[in-house]
Amino acid sequence: MNMDLGDTRLIVDACKNAGCLRNQAAYILATAYWETARTMKPVVEAFWLSENWRQNNLRYYPWHGRGYVQLTWKENYRRAQERLGIPFAEDPKLAMVPEHAAKILVTGCVEGWFTGKKLADYITLKKSDFFNARRVVNGRDKADQIAALARDYDRALEAESYGVADAKSIPIPEAKPKIHKPLTESKELIGGVAGLVAAFSAFLEQVDGNTVALILGALALGFIANRLYARRQGAR
């Protein structure tokens, strides 16, 4: 399929903006290709005839078919107006503006404006029922031909990696080495030692000299052991 024909790229962008799956976008493109007589340009109903003919022969004039898919009847123009915020009911010709027509085509198929059937009723991640998806727009009219077109567009979109985003590398923060502080540098320990010193001073007043010597020796050994432990931790 020619992915640069007419407004194909515009419609693809509209599909992406609406979050359409690749197979859903393929069917939307196939519908537009068929409904616009293979031009991928907005067309007016009975475009080969005059405006005077449409005025005299179409009972829903001036809200007759326009766009990539034939938006018809005033109530449908009003629905599009309410949904998209564009005054189609007051100025039906706005439906021929490519950007507006693309939104009507895509949103209408996704939300089921045209027949009450939604694209997701037939086309999902698990199935691509391109034949019955024609019910979204016009019963089963030309369903075989449009299904074949949808398969071609699906392959073309797959070749372009539709819906596949580039993977972004997420930087992993560098792990900071864990620092083991010697016990003597701990604020909590220092506070505790101060309390112990005060208590120990009071205790010394109650014991004899030999007991004091034993206690001081034990404290000295504890201090030495603590320093040796701190050095080993710092060397790791």
Closest CA relative to residue 106, chosen from 22, 204, 209, 14:
14
Domain boundaries in the chain? 8-159, 183-235
Fold (topology level) of 8-159: Lysozyme (1.10.530)
Q: Which residues of 117-137 are buried (b: 16+ CB within 10 A; e: fewer)?
A: bbbbebbeeeebebeebbbbb
Name the percent of the chain lying above pLDDT 70. 69
Long-range contacts of 165-174, Cβ-Cβ distance < 8 Å, separation of 24 or more: none
pLDDT of 102 reads 98
pLDDT in tens, 98-139: 999 999 999 999 999 999 999 999 999 999 999 999 999 998
- Mean pLDDT across 19-36: 98
pLDDT in tens, 164-218: 653 333 343 454 555 555 544 445 545 554 555 555 565 556 656 666 566 666 6
Q: Is the pLDDT of residue 224 over 80?
A: no
